[in-house]
């Protein structure tokens, strides 16, 4: 008989121990999730306070020397002012609507609109980066700063914005993020006041008077109010109004001497003339002057404003030498201001063409430094730009959007679609291409500042067949000359729908002459584009190329 199998007796599980283990595991898991809420945000090391601005703590190192706080230039450039400029020669440049401030590193003298100003502390370096003292920061911008050393805070407050405030109705914890699981920053008590900067769901971003910032639940606040700015924003500059609603400018080409104005006939509709008087000279920082007071007196007697053109002489290296040197930029601007005063000018038209693409930011900076000083002298400032293309020195050298922010008007030179060095014959400016150019430019320049450049000239092209190839040579001619050529050659111009222009050609042996006509009809179409797109007006290149009747067309079309 087989003995029965006896199984070992099982022990009853210790349920109390299991529950303890389960609770411990859950506590660890839950604690790992909520633990941060029981921890306080660490303060920065001694001597390196947190930079607090608009309720946020920024990761920019603040240097404290002799009780003065210094902020890195990067904070100004990236947070306060995208147009702040650090010149590699050791000059910090800040341009506002009405001021140009230049701070040279390690110097106690700043320059405001080219006038000296004594500083308490200089710009210093830490490594290769410039640092701006707090007292100077308050000169540059409408700011108030305070170094709260006991809390490890350098507080920066704006004075030109409306401010939201509220009272804490129940003691609460400011959190680093809008979550109850976020680390704690500071405890605020009932009745204390906080400034509100942003709303994030059921939370608000706040800042205390002591410089602590973070998030509070909206439910913990009461008695919210909005206070007016402590400093009024600067009044925007308005250029001197031209006669009529729109700018109607014509350029006056001056190669050596200004034409005798007594020989210039009526120009109906025109309210601005722009003689090409000032040019960058060969000597760096010098301005060549071809101005003539007789022309100014004549223009003013007719009710025209005079916006003298200032050119870079189309010289790449000459332009770079000035643009990249702070002192030379100042020197050029100072000369223009003197000439403007002597000749009683109403404005300056900047015509910088053929500029290195790498110098585009420097061209913008030059313009930004020029405009406040010109405005201070009551001058209107405009700049000429080319149609967008892939050319590095004729198109990509313009930061069109930033230039438009600075100046009063932007002149779009909507011509030379087929320039004088083109390898094929073509029109100066077709109507569809002109409209495309306007639309592309309006992506960066507001319509109320954009002036459409229109051509008074065309080109007579001669195509020559030699050894199976075609060689072209153009000649720029005015409207009357083009009409005379058609008549003398007994050629009729035919309208081309694809160009919006009249076209004519004539063959003589191995030569073919081609011409696209600029006349009253093409001008009406350009004026219509300016009207449809709500542009600020038109500018014509140049006086002397027009047919006499074109002024009547402009006068009627601009209305």
Query: Domain with 114 in it: what CATH number?
Result: 3.30.457.10
Two tokens at 82? 């995208």
Same domain, residue pair 216 and 77: no
Stretch 471-497: mean pLDDT, rounded? Answer: 98
pLDDT value at residue 466: 87
pLDDT value at residue 15: 57
Same domain, residue pair 265 and 291: yes
Last residue of a domain, one of 179, 207, 227: 227
pLDDT value at residue 387: 98
Stretch 313-322: mean pLDDT, rounded? Answer: 98
pLDDT over 90 (residue 31): no
The CATH number of the domain holding residue 352 is 3.20.20.80
Q: How confident is the model at residue 10 (pLDDT cuts 50, 70, 90)?
A: very low
% of the chain residues with pLDDT over 70: 92
Same domain, residue pair 250 and 363: yes
Last residue of a domain, one of 156, 189, 210: 156
Same domain, residue pair 213 and 246: no
pLDDT value at residue 355: 98
Same domain, residue pair 512 and 461: yes
Contact 420, 411 (CB under 8 A): no
Beta strands in 127-192 (DSSP E): 129-133, 143-148, 153-158, 163-168, 172-175, 184-188
Higher-pLDDT residue of 396 and 24 is 396
pLDDT value at residue 17: 58
pLDDT value at residue 47: 61
User: How much is the pTM?
Assistant: 0.90
Residue 14 phi/psi, 5-degree rounding, is -85, 90
pLDDT value at residue 20: 57
Q: Which residue segment(s) compose the domain that 277 sits in? A: 237-407
Same domain, residue pair 134 and 267: no
Two tokens at 360? 């585009």
pLDDT tens per residue across span 242-253 = 999 899 999 999
Two tokens at 550? 């074109």
Region of 47 on the Ramachandran plot (φ > 0 left; ψ -120 to 50 alpha; else beta): left
The CATH number of the domain holding residue 203 is 2.30.30.40
- Which of 132, 135, 142, 131 shows the shortest CA–CA distance to 96? 142
- Residue 550 CA from chain centroid, whole number: 35
pLDDT value at residue 417: 98
Number of structural domains found in the chain: 4
Same domain, residue pair 245 and 394: yes
pLDDT value at residue 254: 98
Higher-pLDDT residue of 235 and 121 is 121
d(CA 410, CA 382) in angstroms, rounded, equals 6
Q: What angle do CA 343, 349, 350 make, to 5 degrees?
A: 120
* 3-class SS of residue 404: helix
pLDDT over 50 (residue 8): no
pLDDT over 80 (residue 6): no
pLDDT value at residue 483: 98
Classify the C-alpha dihedral 406-407-408-413 as positive or negative: negative
């Amino acid at each position: 008989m087989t003995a029965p199998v006896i199984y070992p007796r099982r022990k009853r599980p210790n349920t109390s121990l299991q529950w303890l283990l389960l609770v411990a595991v859950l506590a660890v898991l839950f604690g790992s999730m909520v633990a941060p809420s029981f921890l306080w945000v660490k303060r920065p090391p001694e001597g390196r306070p947190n930079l607090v601005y608009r309720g946020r703590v920024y990761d920019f190192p603040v240097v404290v020397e002799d009780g003065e706080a210094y902020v890195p230039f990067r904070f100004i450039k990236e947070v306060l002012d995208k147009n702040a400029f650090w010149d590699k020669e050791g000059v910090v440049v800040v341009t506002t609507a009405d001021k140009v401030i230049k701070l040279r590193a390690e110097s106690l003298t700043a320059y405001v609109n080219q006038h000296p100003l004594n500083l308490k502390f200089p710009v210093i370096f830490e490594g290769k980066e410039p640092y701006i003292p707090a007292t100077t920061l308050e000169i540059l911008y409408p700011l108030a700063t305070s170094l709260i050393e006991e809390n490890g805070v350098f507080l920066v407050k704006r004075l030109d914005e409306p401010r939201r405030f509220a009272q804490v109705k129940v003691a609460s914890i400011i959190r680093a993020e809008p979550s109850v699981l976020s680390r704690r920053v500071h405890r605020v008590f009932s009745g204390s006041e906080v400034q509100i900067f942003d709303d994030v769901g059921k939370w608000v971003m706040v800042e205390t008077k002591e410089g602590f910032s973070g998030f509070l639940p909206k439910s913990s606040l009461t008695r919210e109010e909005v206070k007016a700015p402590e400093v009024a924003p600067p009044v925007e500059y308005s250029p001197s109004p031209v006669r009529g609603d729109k700018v109607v400018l014509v350029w006056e080409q001056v190669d050596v001497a200004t034409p005798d104005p007594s020989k210039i006939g009526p120009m109906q509709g025109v309210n601005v003339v722009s003689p090409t008087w000032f040019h960058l000279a060969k000597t760096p920082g010098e301005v060549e002057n071809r101005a003539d007071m007789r022309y100014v007196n004549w223009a003013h007697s007719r009710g025209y404003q005079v916006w003298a053109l200032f050119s870079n002489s189309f010289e790449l290296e000459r332009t770079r030498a000035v643009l990249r040197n702070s002192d030379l930029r100042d020197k050029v601007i100072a000369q223009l201001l003197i000439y403007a005063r002597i000749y009683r000018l109403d404005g300056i038209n900047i015509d910088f063409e053929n500029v290195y693409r790498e110098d585009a930011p420097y061209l913008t900076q030059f313009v930004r430094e020029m405009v406040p000083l010109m405005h201070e002298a009551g001058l209107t400032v405009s700049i000429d730009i080319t149609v967008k293309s892939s050319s590095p020195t004729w198109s990509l050298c313009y930061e069109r959007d930033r230039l438009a922010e600075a100046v009063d008007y932007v002149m779009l030179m909507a011509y030379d679609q087929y320039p004088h060095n083109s390898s094929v014959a073509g029109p100066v400016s077709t109507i569809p291409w002109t409209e495309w150019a306007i639309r592309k430019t309006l992506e960066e320049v507001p319509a109320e500042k954009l002036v459409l450049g229109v051509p008074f000239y065309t080109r007579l092209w001669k195509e020559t067949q030699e050894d199976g190839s075609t060689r072209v040579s153009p000649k720029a001619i005015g409207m009357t000359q083009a009409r005379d050529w058609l008549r003398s050659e007994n050629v009729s111009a035919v309208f081309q729908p694809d160009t919006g222009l009249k076209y004519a050609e004539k063959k003589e042996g191995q030569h073919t002459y081609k011409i696209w006509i600029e006349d009253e009809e093409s001008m009406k179409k350009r004026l219509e584009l300016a009207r449809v797109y709500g542009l600020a007006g038109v500018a014509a290149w140049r006086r002397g190329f027009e047919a006499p009747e074109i002024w009547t067309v402009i006068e009627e079309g601009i209305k």
